[in-house]
Structure 1
Amino acid sequence: MNAIDLFAGLGGWSTGARMAGIHILWAANHWPEAVKWHAKNHPDTAHACQDLHQANWEQVPSHDILLASPCCQGHSRARGKDNGNPKHDASRSTAWAVVSAAEFHRPPFVIVENVPEFMQWTLYPAWASAMNALGYQLAPHVIDCADLGVPQNRIRLFLVCTRSRVPLHLKFPSKNHQPASSFIDFSAGNWSPILRPTRAAATLARVANGRREYGERFVMPYYKSGSGLTGRSLNRPIGTITTIDRWAVVDGERMRMLTADECLAAQSFPADIARPKSHRLTVHLAGNAVPPLAASNILKALTRAA
């Protein structure tokens, strides 16, 4: 099978497709830096750097599967008080590019990845109706990527759209949860003493709580959101990897943030992936990506059911 990847970013969908034996013919993103690194990792794929609202779908090759991860920030609960921000309205509208592409090419399969709140979008009924009008049946799958073998609890919507008489609900094999210890390298990173004058009292409290719960080694959100006030055991998946530094590793009297390579590994990217030298840019690209292992298992399930 052949596929295209819209809003491709660093290439989580594309990498997962390759793992599943599916060839990515064409990939697009509006951000030059994302296109640059996607091209380095997928040199046999044709690339476009453009606003997909303006895409000429005649220039896109025919395909069996349309993969898309339209911007999720406008839907996510993490957007906080800015949910009325026009920027978020613009980000929500990126989903209409999927309808436009599907209208022109009518591929047998379309899979859209987003946060579950995508289905609470005011215009989601209109969006779904547009896909129905094109002949697609929609089957929403809300999945914790840890259940697909990713060492991270990351709950996402995978909306499987098929040109079929009834919606296609995929079945996935049961995968053991992979622990955070599988990718954390205690010999890497920039460690600093936990007890230093600039450390916030709230951070020290979370460290103390984590020690009581898990011992000397664990992970915790450096800021207060996520995993309560105690952090997480290294024996369970880490929490959601975001586009900014979020997770700290505690080891005795020292601590540090996850390295960029650990963020990529938590997302299940292969160790040899080409990435920017910049820590900040790599973390941003990683946090926006679909975990390749989740993508691979979803596409394998799709090909089994097709």
Structure 2
Amino acid sequence: MRAVDLFAGAGGFTVAAELAGAQVVWAANHWPEAVRTHEANHPETQHVCQDLRQADWTAVPAHDLLLASPACQGHSPARGKERPHHDATRATAFAIIDALDCHMPKAALIENVPAMMNWRLFNAWCGALNDLGYAVAPHVVDAADHGVPQHRERLMIVATRSKHPLQLHFDPKPHVPASSFIRFDQGDWTPVDRPGRAPSTLERVLNGRKSYGERFLMPYYGSGSGKTGRSLARPIGTITTRDRWAVVDGGRMRMLSKDENRAAMSFPTDYRLPAQHKLAVHMLGNAVPPLMAQDFIAAVAARI
């Protein structure tokens, strides 16, 4: 099965496709750094760096499956109040309509945040898919149920050239704990009680110790698990585009390393990332978890 990856980013969908036995023949993104990262890991794929709203879809190779993860920033509640540029980011989803209209592959998988379904043009967007002959089946899933060591709720839209929507059902896999990827012998540790540490941080550390002992996770900026910390025996919370999670080990603490962020997203351990920590974390926070997407791609491939 041949696939293309739109808004490919770091390459989570492409990794998933390869794990599922598909060949990704073309991948595109507007961000040069993301394209370089994707190309370093998938040199056999044809790459394009372009705003996909201006793409020439006739130049894209023939394919059976379209994979796409359009911008989610305009939908995500984490972005706060509505801003003028959100309309532009949401509009990237219409590039998918143009791509499908040109090639009419058997199926498409589109990933986004569940809040995409609240978009005022969501029904019109789905209607355009229907007009092209695609039946649309939205699925809201937690990546942790697919073997990803992270609770990450996402919308996976399955569009197939079929009479009826393809509703997929998966038996939840055992949850993989955060302890599977935390490395206490690595990283840049600092004393919890160092001068200048914010009182709110110290409060979260104290509460975490009361609940989980000497070793636990906590949101460094107070979101997610609030002021209580988070057990290492459960999946971590959502990985975002900026450093969010801190590891506490007795009297020392540090932020997650980029390698730990990569593992939390279920990328292979040898997957190449940018050398700059901030850049790598940003890409990973925007990525599709490969193990979650692999289940969907394999299920769709078996039915088309």
TM-score, scaled to structure 1: 0.98
**1:41 has 2:44 as partner:** no
Paired letter, 2:45: T
- Unpaired runs of 5+ in structure 2? none
Query: How far apart in 2 are the matches of 1:91 and 1:19?
Result: 29
Q: How does 1:127-276 map onto structure 2 within 5 Å?
A: 127-276=125-274
| Contact 1:177–1:236 under 8 Å retained in 2 | yes
Alpha-carbon distance, 1:277 to partner: 0.7
Which residue of the other structure, out of 100, 103, 118, is the alignment partner of 1:102? 100
Partner of 1:60: 60
User: Judging changes above 3 Å, is the alpha-carbon distance between structure 1 residues 166 and 36 closer, same or farther for their aligned structure 2 residues?
Assistant: same
Alpha-carbon distance, 1:174 to partner: 2.7
Q: Deviations over 1:2-37 (max 9, x none)?
A: 100000001000001111101001000000000001
**1:20 has 2:27 as partner:** no
Secondary structure of the corresponding residue to residue 44 of structure 1: coil
Paired letter, 2:30: H
Query: How far apart in 2 are the matches of 1:296 and 1:168?
Result: 16
Secondary structure of the corresponding residue to residue 284 of structure 1: helix
RMSD: 0.8
Paired letter, 2:174: N
Which residue of the other structure, out of 287, 301, 304, is the alignment partner of 1:303? 301
| Contact 1:28–1:50 under 8 Å retained in 2 | yes
- Unpaired runs of 5+ in structure 1? none
Paired letter, 2:33: E
Paired letter, 2:2: N
Query: How far apart in 2 are the matches of 1:33 and 1:155?
Result: 26
Partner of 1:279: 277
Query: How far apart in 2 are the matches of 1:68 and 1:125?
Result: 18
Alpha-carbon distance, 1:238 to partner: 0.1
Q: Deviations over 1:88-118 (max 9, x none)?
A: 1111110000001011111110111000000
Q: Deviations over 1:182-222 (max 9, x none)?
A: 00101111100000121111111111111111100000100
TM-score, scaled to structure 2: 0.99
Q: Deviations over 1:246-298 (max 9, x none)?
A: 00000000000000010010000001011111000000011100011111111
